[in-house]
A and B are shown apart, each in its own frame.
Chain A
Amino acid sequence: MRRTTFIAAVAAAVVLMLGAGWALPWSRMPIITFLCFGLAALGLTVLMRAGQVSFGHAMYAAIGGYATAFTVRAFPGADGLVAVAAGVVASLAIGAVVAAFVSRYRGIFFGMLNLGLSMVLFSLAGKLYGWTGGTDGLRFERPALLGMALERGQFELAMLVLTLALAVAVAWAVQRYFVSSSGQVMLAIRTNETRLEYIGLSARMVLAEGYVLSAGLVGLAGALLALVQSLVTPESGYWIRSGEYVFIAILGGSGHAAGAFLGAAVFELIKLAAAAYFTNAWQILLGATLIAVIFFAPQGIVGWRRRAPRQTLPQEAR
């Protein structure tokens, strides 16, 4: 896609979402959810470009969400934006600690370690009743947003604008990172770590950096979702949620930052359609979509016209 066409498409989507959110109040929550799922999946995409899949990344959404909730509850006058920032900082900080050791692992070990950690966190969120409110989650008062105290409908509209602005800015920055030298080293981790070491580059350092970025992205999504609902629950960090983020990232493809949002859009549409027509079998629809993607577009939506070059090569050259 040419650059101008792409920018026009993004602008059209932005206008469409703003228009829908303004005219149709019921569409605000689905659009915000879609954007947040896109942001979280973008975090997974960062890792996928290095060939790594985390089955526990929703834990950063929970960390972001709880940090947001704690901030609002501890400092009643705090602005919603400050609470979201606290959520992002918390997920970045914990992401940095986790990155220090998970960056030693690859493949299934990397995925499972993250899953294990996320399940520990999920259990803690459910059991530490006094702090987290247990499995019912933690409710909090709707804070002011940019100094404005808003009633529910206005608040949702403002959150839509905020989330949309953040999503566009963050996706642009992450795409910039993808083509930067660090981002290209991430891509090289997927294909040849030995060669990276032999040209004097540390795969581990670069992967750790990418991991912190991915934790921050998922944390941002979790913080925004918590804020718009005035609620955070342990479910936001459950493995099923992690799996959904992985699903969206695969669906969208890791060739471009826009992939995560395209994947999230399809995911959200499937869920909306399923809620209307296949209430009891919506997972079947998701499963069928995933199978179709794997067979017909293994590089996801953004890479569906591109065949993997390695598929056309003899075995020993791979």
Chain B
Amino acid sequence: MNASTPDELLRTEGLTLRFGGITAADGIDFSLARGEHLAVIGANGAGKTTFINICTGYVKPSSGRVLFEGLDITRQGPRQIARLGVGRSFQLPQLFLDHTVRQCLELASVSRRGVLSRWTPLSRAADQRAVAEMLELVELGDHADAPTAVLPEGRRKLLDVGIALMLEPKLVIMDEPTSGVSSEDKHGVMRTLMHALQQRKVTSWFVEHDVEIVRRYATRVAAWIDGRIAADGAPEQVFADPLVRSEVLGERAGQGGH
């Protein structure tokens, strides 16, 4: 077992999870370095979200471990892992539907500050400068006082990541940040998100089905097949892999290349 290098942010060792007869994670050894922007690709049911759920403490693995900055976080819950510096956004954005955009960020801000007052109003307890900066960073300034329940999907995705970024994480894991967003808006949403992550010098890992987006924004690609990583490396290298071409990209044998 090789020791963790200073560049290594997250690492998993032999991560396995079985639900009855189904193996959702099959001994995954994985490592993510600081500064990487990893795209995870794979068919539905390949175990991409399960892997995220394990690494963020939502689901406990049957065996194996997860290390974040060398610290074993396998048995920690989402709350502790979030506090250690792992942010997450969801395929279906997880927002506070009785609150406005600004209030969602304020709630994340008071959590970051670590004080929950029973007396000071939320708006005063939150770091308003940090909130204003985040509104600008994820381009929600015009919607700041809109109730989250009426936001269009693209904005919801941006807010979901903005909430995660309020905790000043070192790593943000985004589950399908462009799914459900219209094809015209997809690129705009992704551009804003990646710009925000780079501004904050946050490492990222995102699940994505759109090959064009992956090619444009990922520094590294990992392809999931049946709870394993079938290919992992530079985008062009992974996209050239015959197994990835047939199983993930859905190309028939003999089509395009081999």
Q: Which of A's residues lie within 8 Å of B, judged by CB?
A: 176-177, 179-185, 187-188, 190-192, 194-202, 206, 209, 309-310, 312-313, 316-318
Contact = CB atoms under 8 A, between A and B. Distances in A.
B147 interface: yes
Contact of B163 (A195, A316, A317): A195
B143 to A, nearest CB: 14
Contacts of B106: 181, 184
Interface in B126-148: 126, 147
Contacts of B39: none
A309 B122 CA distance: 21
Given A188-B98, A195-B163, 6 more contacts: A177-B118, A181-B120, A197-B79, A198-B88, A309-B147, A310-B149
A206 B79 CA distance: 14
Interface stretch (B4-12, B109-117, B243-251): B109-117
Nearest to B151: A317
B167 interface: yes
A313 B149 contact: yes
A295 B17 CA distance: 47
Contacts of B80: 200
Contacts of B115: 181
Nearest to B153: A317
B101 interface: no
Contacts of B186: none
B121 interface: yes
B99 interface: yes
A202 B115 CA distance: 12
Contact of B78 (A192, A198, A206): A198
21 contacts: A176-B121, A180-B121, A181-B115, A181-B121, A182-B118, A183-B118, A188-B99, A190-B98, A192-B97, A195-B163, A196-B107, A197-B78, A198-B88, A199-B82, A199-B107, A200-B80, A201-B107, A310-B149, A313-B150, A317-B153, A318-B97
B82 A197 contact: yes
A165 to B, nearest CB: 20
Contact of B149 (A202, A206, A309, A316): A309
Interface residues of B, number: 43
Contacts, number: 110
B83 interface: yes
Given A188-B96, A195-B95, A209-B118, A200 B82 contact: yes
A271 B110 CA distance: 45
A-B pairs with the 6 shortest C-beta distances?
Answer: A309-B149, A195-B94, A200-B82, A191-B97, A181-B110, A184-B122
Nearest to A173: B119
B82 A181 contact: no
Contact of B77 (A176, A197, A317): A197
A304 to B, nearest CB: 17
Given A180-B125, A184-B122, A188-B98, A198 B56 contact: yes
B82 A198 contact: yes
B108 interface: yes
Given A180-B122, A194-B94, A199-B82, A206 B107 contact: no
A317 B157 CA distance: 12
Contacts of B120: 180-181
Contacts of A201: 79, 107, 111, 116
A191 B122 contact: no
A188 B56 contact: no
